[in-house]
Amino acid sequence: MIKRIEQLERLNKELLHENDDLLDFAWTGNLGRWYLDFTTGNVVFNPLKIKVLGYEMSEIPFPTPYSFFTDALHPDDHKSTMQAMLDAMFQIKPVYECEYRIKTKDGQYRWYYDRGTITQRDKDGKALFAAGIVFDVTDKKNDEFLLKEENRSLSIEAYTDPLT
């Protein structure tokens, strides 16, 4: 019970320090804020991310372990995503920032841009709590892929003599 109270106090402390205006991001793909309590390994997040992944909140464990998301990372993105979090935890970098893919309920992958920071540390500097924001950038990534393919095709055409 004491651990649960401490967890809620850390979350409450974070929420009290935020300004509601800061949460109103108008950028496309905004899925809202997330909060990670390192002492429990649990994450609190905007339910919109779950909906975009194809789930209902009733299908998600509560409390939700961080591993619910990390276990669904694309294998090619797992190492870099975990390294970004470790770099923030151990103060190698001031923020956690990365793009990664997560498997949806139907087995597809969606792209996300995630940015956060360690907001609470203990007296020894150990990370206790992190907060951030996540964006669905799947459409942007798909557009980038199509442009690269089109550029590749145009490059081949530009260097190929159509008569030979």
The alpha-helical segments, DSSP class H, found in 18-114 are 47-52, 67-70, 75-89
Rg of the chain in Å (alpha carbons): 20
Here the contacts of 117-126 (C-beta below 8 Å, separation 24 or greater) are 117/88, 118/88, 118/89, 118/91, 119/14, 119/17, 120/10, 120/13, 120/14, 125/91, 126/38
Segments of the chain with pLDDT less than 50: 19-25
Identify the CA nearest to 113 among candidates 96, 92, 130, 91. Answer: 96
Q: How far apart are alpha carbons 158 and 5 in whole angstroms?
A: 66
Here the contacts of 46-51 (C-beta below 8 Å, separation 24 or greater) are 49/134, 49/136
Identify the CA nearest to 130 among candidates 38, 41, 63, 59. Answer: 38
Element (H, E) at 130: strand 127-136
Identify the CA nearest to 31 among candidates 125, 137, 119. Answer: 137
Q: What are the counts of helices (DSSP H) followed by strands (DSSP E) for the chain?
A: 5, 6
Which residues, other chains included, contact 30 with Cβ-Cβ below 8 Å and sequence gap of 6+?
133, 135
